[in-house]
A = this chain, B = another copy of it.
Amino acid sequence: MNKRNKDRLYADLKREILTLELEPGANLDETSLSAKYGISRTPLREVFRQLAGDGYIEIRDNRGTIVSPMNHKSMRDFFMTAPLVYASVSRLAAQNARSEQIRDLREVQANFRRAARSGSVEDLVFWNDRFHLAIGEIADNQYLMPSLRRLLIDHARIGQTFWRARNAEMRQRIETAADQHDRLIDAIEAGDEETAVALTLDHWALSRDHMEMFVRPDPLPIPSGFAAAEVE
């Protein structure tokens, strides 16, 4: 039953990449990984190929495999593209949702709430990802899904700090995000496209404002002696 191990490897790598346990650009060693999971390099390499197709990793000919890197440009592209795709997906979800899908979505949201109470960053990242992926599945559009999946990978990675609540204000933000999830579910269930889109953009703005703070933090105060130095 090595299929089990192969699936576990696939799921583990995904999770470790989303939670930054594996950093962008980190090298993935075939030999040690295959030993760790008790499978040979053949199926392991197939898992790599699949993850590369999903956008999690990059396979470079004869030069090893790395976790998909992130740089300034990818941040820019991300902030530019996410609203378009997320809003479109929410609209389609509102058009298509079936009652049992809403039930599943509420289930995911319950797990998200639990993670918020327990304060586990890893769980919050995981269930937030699942929440938005579930909406994507309700939207059920094979042409938008690839971009949504790619966006969600970096959403999880960039947004990592969002969930790491260190003070009351940040805990409040998480609470707000959770409330928006609930209202989004309601709008989707009601088939109210416009509200779903508006809520999605609000939800997005909340994340973005916070994330941008970490991407482009306020500069450190400059000691008087270095006041003329150039800062990049």
Cβ of A98 to closest chain B Cβ, rounded Å:
14
Instruction: Give the size of the chain A interface in residues (CB under 8 angstroms).
Output: 30
Pick the contact of A146 from B80, B140, B146, B154 — CB < 8 Å?
Answer: B146
Pick the contact of A46 from B49, B144, B146, B154 — CB < 8 Å?
Answer: B49
Interface of A is mostly: helix
Cβ of A21 to closest chain B Cβ, rounded Å:
22
User: Is the Cβ of A74 less than 8 Å from the Cβ of B149?
Assistant: no
Interface residues of A in 104-134 (CB under 8 A from B): none
Pick the contact of A143 from B53, B77, B140, B142 — CB < 8 Å?
Answer: B77
A140 to B150 Cα, complex, angstroms: 14
Residues of A participating in the B interface, judged by any CB pair closer than 8 Å: 42, 45-46, 49-50, 52-55, 74, 77-78, 80-82, 84-85, 88, 140-147, 149-151, 154
Q: List 26 A-B contacts (CB under 8 A).
A: A42-B42, A45-B46, A49-B49, A49-B50, A50-B52, A50-B53, A52-B53, A53-B54, A55-B146, A74-B142, A77-B140, A77-B142, A81-B88, A81-B143, A81-B144, A82-B143, A84-B84, A84-B88, A85-B143, A142-B150, A143-B150, A143-B154, A144-B147, A145-B147, A146-B146, A146-B147
